[in-house]
Amino acid sequence: MNVTEHAEHHPALQHHFEDLGQQHEASTLGMWVFLATEIMFFGALFFAYALYRHQFYDAFIAASHHQNIVLGTVNTAVLIFSSLTVVLSVYFAQTSNRKALVWALIATMILGAVFLGIKAIEYHEHFEHHLFPGQNFSMPEVTLPVAQNAQMFYVLYFLMTGLHALHMVIGLGIFAWLTWRANRGEFSIEYYGPVEVCGLYWHFVDIIWIFLFPLLYLIGRH
């Protein structure tokens, strides 16, 4: 299994790096720089949310009451659980436990798919209840100006959760590729950078949801 004993250098070492340690640091830093741009990307939406919530507070409370708090909480738990399976996959990669690594990655993908499935059920509910912004939007229990403003909540809701879901879908693709590589026994303590770096991406998407959950589901519940 151990290639380093026979080859001159580790097969994963790119020629422009001194050693695998430097390569690992460079790839991790590269992912953090990408995540910094992602913080600004989502940051603009979080700002828009803060501004409109400040302007239309009553409408945001009314709209938030239509959110399914049970499904939202379950989805938060599912995503945190998937972050656990991701860090366990880093551990199994570091300890060269190929079988456990592959299973941890598969578990992550299953949990990611469960999250998206629950999100789809929620979206379906919103469409059924005329909560998609546009001509057919209706919130009969509040006055019309409030209902108009509540549309802004749903514009931001669909933008933010939709962008988040898109990141999840991309994450599933990345993890499928990672599982294929892990199954070939590519990862060990010397070389587990891809598992770590893809994990960083997954945790970032988890952190976005950690903020979205209270902002979209838990306003004015008392």
Partner 1 sequence: MAEERPVPHKDPKHHVTPKRTYFFIFFALMILTAITVWVAFIDLGPFSTPIAMAIAMAKASLVLLYFMHLRHSTRVTWVVIVASFLWLGVLFVLTFSDYLSRRWDPNHIPPFAEAQAEARQSAPAAQH
Residue 133 Cβ, how far from partner 1 at the closest point, in Å?
13
| N-terminal to C-terminal alpha carbon distance within the chain | 59
DSSP code of 157?
H
Residue 86 lies near partner 1 (rule: CB under 8 A) = yes
Comparing CA positions, the residue from 58, 61, 27, 84 lying closest to residue 215 is 61
Which of residues 179 and 196 has its CB atom nearest to partner 1 in the complex? 196
Which member of 7, 9, 39, 184 binds partner 1 (CB under 8 A)? 39
d(Cα 132, Cα 9) in Å, to the nearest integer? 56
> How many Cα atoms are found within 13 Å in the side-chain-facing hemisphere of 10?
18
Site for partner 1 in 100-129 (CB under 8 A): 100
The site that binds partner 1 (CB under 8 A) totals a number of residues, namely: 66
Which of residues 88 and 109 has its CB atom nearest to partner 1 in the complex? 88
Which of residues 51 and 170 has its CB atom nearest to partner 1 in the complex? 51
Which of residues 25 and 141 has its CB atom nearest to partner 1 in the complex? 25
Which member of 7, 14, 121, 138 binds partner 1 (CB under 8 A)? 138
Q: What burial class does residue 40 get, using C-beta atoms within 10 Å of its C-beta: 0-12 exposed, 13-18 middle, 19+ buried?
A: exposed
Per-residue x/- track, 62-81, partner 1 (CB under 8 A): -------x---x--xx--xx
Q: Footprint of partner 1 on this chain (CB under 8 A)? A: 1, 21, 24-25, 28-29, 32-33, 35-36, 39-40, 43-44, 47, 50-51, 55-56, 69, 73, 76-77, 80-81, 83-84, 86-88, 90-91, 94-100, 138, 143-145, 148-149, 188-190, 192, 196, 199-200, 203-204, 206-207, 210-211, 213-215, 218-222
